[in-house]
Chains A and B, each alone.
Chain A
């Protein structure tokens, strides 16, 4: 070699270039730097639980699920024919089961155009057209009053070589397909996605304080498809499957009356308790545990345990009680205001605000401030869904802060009952308040101040008003939770305000002494369902604002309606058999719903609900 020293120099130059070319690297944020590429087409391997994922699970096969008593009873009460009901027909899968479903999956990234920052990872499941969005941009989860969806709200981050996903705000539905194993709307999901070559493993960890005694862990295996397998749609429209079925009929089995509960254990020569022991079924030692279960104990698993106190709701932060008032946009110019007792709805526009219900009245100043932040014009109308304090408590404060410019000089003003209600006397200093006539009557009877009592009332089935560009209808619901309930429907915005007819947090407050009844409550819930239209796969579309709890759509109303019908049927069966109220209460007929709606203290307890159902049924003519 003639010039080895030049080679050395060249090497040094190369080294120099390498060093200079490598600018110091800024460690990428873990939330933005994919540790693994999940993009592409994936097909589930289906080498586990094929029956569940294909034909469907067998009745009473609950083995491997850590169901608590409520979960087990819910599943035993479930009749698969429930899916023949119109509103159940097109329901999508919940996120955990969606990942377990048949059909192909597609995963892709969404990046910000100019920075290429990873915003989200999308998962599309062929079955039920399940579209999941996993937000990777660090956004927080929504508040408890935000709507729930079948796939929930997901955020993710990369940890090690896996994607970790946290999902909240899921609807209620099936944790297992086909045999009633439930998942509640309080469940949360943690997932891990890890890839081994062309094999993707998805681990789902479901935590459900309502129906599970410990987290449920399952894993799903996928293999990568090199080409688009096509067939990404899953069209569904509901239809009439059983004609002439009464609207208040929901297929279910009474406790202890599930006729096929022993079929599974008999077919496979297993002890009856084998699939009913909840978390014990998941662990080694099940056979030894089964040897300790006698026949009586096993049979006892088919119905609520006797002599046990009712469970209470496991829901967290059911009603926002943080001392603040929060605004949640519903749709178009309709907003939900939460925090002061019952939910409040505000519609805004070029006219004055139209407000439905006024809350408890403890935070009226904050409610008013919230409304003013939404509407430049003062409150013009207030509609009350019932006379209950949690929905009319703020009437006086909100009413007196409003004005109704449509009244001065009008004929109606001249007809105002001066000195009685007072607020037509100076309409520019008070909003007009409307409700069913029974609300006025009951509030006056209770001695409510004149400025708090609706004066603009209606007597029959419907009151209507076109305001702020929308057709607003009040539909009277006779004998629901009281004798003065109205549903308020914003037609263009497609939002129904349900008042206490519907709640996501508690059993319906059926006030029998104030004219409420369980049948009227069921009818009112069906009246909502008769007006809702889902957008896609059983969710979205018409929004329903509950009296308490989170913004809903028809799915939540449907589940609530089913619950009231099922409890009614159980109580009725005992009433028909001659049971007394104490006997009905002791039977724990709400045991599968108590961990969701139950209360043993406070203004509305489980016992009060059961008593209301009992007494309204006893008050009915026989045969109803």
Chain B
């Protein structure tokens, strides 16, 4: 409502001289023209009043911060539910066993060269803990707002941290977690104003790039430096049941994957945070 009054006041200041002149000219108009003109003016005044009563949207205002605009609460501790690709995620599958992954020929060749001892020797035990593979591991995650425009996600598996920036990511990337740009995403009309109300609900969309090459599976199924990871975080509250976060992810890696790799990972909210158990990365 305050915004509306500011808008009205501003409009009045800007338009007052011309409106005054308009009214004076109106008074001097011929009677045949004056009546329709007065009706138009009356309609205009009515419209302003109607708009005022309806609490119109008013002048542009500073958008709420991403934190304030969050359509749901992601924060808290969440535990992964490893109910799909179970054997490949709970254990390290044998070399060559890449489950449902759409590896390209080059990707398969890279995967077949997997050598965990070599990774350990190179200090790269965290290759399976990079952003594109991290949240498919058995892990707990804690999500919190670092500030009004930054979400922080920590995992106890591999003690990794991902930072989601609303706006331009900060840093150069090149590490396991890369650079993540976040936004709230919801269904929108192709042309604004063509039907439908404002979008209801929404998802957290996170696009991650500039990751250090890593593994999608612990047995060496690879992703490369040019990988683009797009994730949608959705919260679902089961009636009389658990709160879930489901992360729908798309991994695009022209080098190692023949097609985009689509999966979705389930996490369940944990009110008891005592099971948080940080463990270092392990290559095997």
Chain A residues with CB under 8 Å of chain B are 4-9, 12-13, 15-20, 22, 24-25, 28, 35-37, 45-51, 61, 63-65, 158-162, 164, 166, 190, 192, 194-196, 199, 201, 203, 205, 207, 215-221, 223, 268-270, 274-275, 281-287
Contact = CB atoms under 8 A, between A and B. Distances in A.
Nearest to B237: A159
A338 B166 CA distance: 60
Given A8-B18, A268-B87, A161 B200 contact: yes
B83 interface: yes
A194 B203 contact: yes
B138 A283 contact: yes
B27 to A, nearest CB: 13
A286 B92 CA distance: 13
A215 B262 contact: no
Given A64-B83, A190-B239, 18 more contacts: A5-B22, A6-B22, A9-B22, A13-B44, A15-B48, A19-B50, A24-B54, A28-B197, A35-B187, A47-B101, A64-B84, A201-B248, A201-B264, A215-B241, A217-B81, A217-B83, A219-B246, A283-B138
A61 B86 CA distance: 9
B281 interface: no
Nearest to A62: B86
Contact of B91 (A37, A65, A268): A268
A6 B244 CA distance: 58
A15 B46 CA distance: 10
A64 B84 CA distance: 7
A218 B84 contact: yes
B202 to A, nearest CB: 6
Given A45-B262, A63-B87, A205-B241, A50 B100 contact: yes
Interface in B47-89: 47-48, 50-51, 54, 56, 71-72, 79-87
Give the contact-size bracket for chain B: 35 or more
Contacts of B86: 61, 63-64, 275, 281-282
A207 B275 CA distance: 24
B172 to A, nearest CB: 28
Interface of B: 15, 18-19, 21-22, 25, 37, 40-41, 43-48, 50-51, 54, 56, 71-72, 79-87, 90-91, 93-94, 99-102, 138-140, 156-157, 185-187, 197, 199-203, 205, 232, 234, 236, 238-239, 241-242, 244, 246, 248, 250, 261-266, 268, 275, 277
Contacts of A223: 262
B199 A190 contact: no
A155 to B, nearest CB: 12
Contacts of B140: 284
A230 B58 CA distance: 50
A160 B72 contact: yes
A287 B47 CA distance: 69
7 contacts: A4-B18, A45-B263, A50-B99, A194-B234, A205-B238, A218-B266, A284-B140
A52 B79 CA distance: 24
Contacts of B48: 12, 15-16, 19
A196 B47 CA distance: 39
B236 A192 contact: yes
Contact of A201 (B79, B84, B187, B246): B246
A46 B84 CA distance: 11
B203 A268 contact: no
A8 B15 contact: yes
A59 to B, nearest CB: 14
Given A63-B87, A192-B246, A219-B246, A283 B47 contact: no
Nearest to A46: B100
B200 A35 contact: yes
Contacts of B82: 64, 281-284, 286
Nearest to A48: B84
B111 to A, nearest CB: 15
Nearest to B201: A160
A47 B40 CA distance: 63
Contact of A221 (B43, B197, B234, B264): B264
A417 B79 CA distance: 76
A161 B186 CA distance: 7
A129 B142 CA distance: 42
Contacts of B21: 5
Output the residue of A8, A158, A205, A270 with the most chain B CB within 10 A.
Answer: A8
Contacts of B43: 12-13, 16, 20
A221 B138 contact: no
A160 B41 contact: no
Given A35-B200, A160-B200, A286-B138, A281 B18 contact: no
A13 B203 CA distance: 39
A19 B47 contact: yes
Contact of A196 (B185, B241, B244, B261): B185
A466 B169 CA distance: 81
A51 B97 CA distance: 12
B14 to A, nearest CB: 9
B77 to A, nearest CB: 12
Output the residue of A12, A15, A190 with the most chain B CB within 10 A.
Answer: A12
Nearest to B25: A5
A196 B203 contact: yes
B87 A49 contact: no
A166 B241 CA distance: 13
A195 B186 CA distance: 9
A269 B92 CA distance: 10
B139 A284 contact: yes
Contacts of B83: 64-65, 216-218, 282
Contacts of B94: 268-269
A221 B238 contact: no
B22 A221 contact: no
B198 to A, nearest CB: 11
B188 to A, nearest CB: 11
Given A18-B47, A19-B51, A221-B262, A47 B22 contact: no
B238 A284 contact: no
Contacts of B241: 190, 205, 207, 215
Contact of B248 (A4, A12, A196): A196
A8 B21 CA distance: 11
B90 A281 contact: yes
Nearest to B14: A8
Contacts of B50: 19-20
Contacts of B22: 5-6, 8-9
Output the residue of B101, B241, B248, B266 with the most chain A CB within 10 A.
Answer: B248
A395 to B, nearest CB: 43
A205 to B, nearest CB: 5
Contacts of A25: 197
Output the residue of A5, A35, A47, A207 with the most chain B CB within 10 A.
Answer: A47
Closest 3 interchain pairs by CB? A160-B201, A12-B44, A16-B47
A28 B85 CA distance: 41
Nearest to A19: B47
A275 B100 CA distance: 19
A9 B22 CA distance: 8
Contacts of A221: 248, 262-264
B225 to A, nearest CB: 22
A5 B21 CA distance: 7
Nearest to B236: A192
A122 B48 CA distance: 45
Given A46-B100, A196-B232, A205-B241, A5 B18 contact: yes
Nearest to A49: B84
Output the residue of A4, A15, A217, A218 with the most chain B CB within 10 A.
Answer: A217
Contacts of A205: 238, 241-242, 244
Given A19-B47, A196-B232, A203-B244, A9 B40 contact: yes
B190 to A, nearest CB: 12
Contacts of B202: 160-161
Contact of B266 (A49, A164, A203, A284): A203
Output the residue of A15, A25, A35, A161 with the most chain B CB within 10 A.
Answer: A161
Contacts of A28: 197
